[in-house]
A and B are shown apart, each in its own frame.
Chain A
Amino acid sequence: MLIEMHAPPKADAVTAMPVYKRTGKAGIGATGANRVMAEATTKRMAWVTQVAAVRDARDKAAFAELFAYFAPRVKSFLMKSGASPDLAEECAQEVMVTLWNKAHLFDPSKASVSTWIFTIARNRRIDLLRKQKRPEPEDLPWGPEAEPEQADAMGLQQETEQLGQALAALPAEQRKLIERAYFGELSHSEIAAETGLPLGTIKSRIRLALERLRHTMK
């Protein structure tokens, strides 16, 4: 039994499993956790490559892969935020079309593809469900900047994965509150007053996980 538990999964087990669900670190040995981490980072770098292919080559196959993975998650996010299934479907398609049209604005040294798609979906939700404008911060002044360093992009992708794992490892009721906040169920005053919302905890985990981002953006 023990040997089986620690035996590496078959080489194709991960690629054959389209739904990848984080489970926190419980039950995985240190090397197992490292392997999961490495695989997850590879997956995130594959998304980065796919967005670059959409941007540079208008690559429809790469777009189809991003669509297959992200559209059902965007749809789920929107339904949990109060959209009907029809509206969520329509809106998830629009979000993916926006990804195609704005691929040149994605910077993998500043965000993971999951973060970027989330921000597009969130803004669409504000347009559609709340019928409000959302003023966005001014872009940082940018010049003829070179392509971000591969190492920076890789580091950021890895750290975002660490953040995701840290969130997954939170106690269930804390995670639930964070989800409620991001699904739009908590107003500002509720977030400010919500003593159960572990802002301090998630902040310290964010800090640990995303230290690089803080440096690259200052």
Chain B
Amino acid sequence: MKKIKHHLTDALLVGYAAGNLPEAFNLVVATHISMCDTCRAALAEFDAVGGEVMLDADPVDMAEDALAAAMARIMDAPCMERVSAKPAGGVFPAPLRGYVNGDLDRVKWRKIGGGVSQMVLKTEGGASVRLLRIPAGTAVPDHGHRGTELTLVLQGAFVDATDRFAAGDIEVANEDLNHTPVAEQGVDCICLAATDAPLQFKGLLPRLAQRFIGI
């Protein structure tokens, strides 16, 4: 397991455990946890909190025939198989593969300017999520945020004013952060990025472009 330095925040872990995040955020969280045992363990703990909250809820009587109805619905189906682990050599963890019908080679990239490409993934619930491909050595236009932006690195690395982010690292940015992520030399940087508000680019040109590319 690679050394991961940047982890999920407690607020995201609680939000995921409680089931309160939009689908786009859930996808980024689930993908990060697939790569990060530290956050996997932390999530198990926050799930346990949920279990105890449920246990202490005042019980509400079930209908008279509830058990019989449940028994009638039980099928003696054979055991269900677990989701298979990532095939050897793959880049995308299982939850992400479900959204692109495969691994990195199945992504349908669209150029959005400055050498950067994206694929918007279809999700419900008010936030959006996209895959970004930033060619090695290239900068993403300087942008700020109105809401929260999550950026998970899947391949390569980027550097911004705050730190270096390599595969498995997640950056959680809010409105206080204006940054210009630059992909490191070497391989292209592939990221999974979600936001619950439109990004705001600083220059006029990117802002015009924004209307067309739908960021």
Contact = CB atoms under 8 A, between A and B. Distances in A.
Q: From DSSP, what is the main secondary structure of chain B's interface residues?
A: helix
Contacts of A21: 56
A121 interface: yes
Of residues A77, A85, A117, A186, which shows the largest number of chain B Cβ atoms within 10 Å of its Cβ? A77
A102 B55 CA distance: 20
Nearest to A122: B19
Interface residues of A, number: 85
Contacts of A80: 57
A178 B50 CA distance: 9
B176 interface: no
Interface stretch (A6-14, A68-76, A146-154): A68-76
Given A19-B59, A117-B54, A135 B21 contact: no
Interface string A116-150: 11110111011000111111111111100000000
A33 interface: no
B74 A100 contact: yes
B62 A75 contact: yes
Interface string B85-116: 11000000111101100000000000000000
Interface string B65-83: 0110111011111011011
Nearest to A21: B56
A164 B50 CA distance: 10
A136 B30 contact: yes
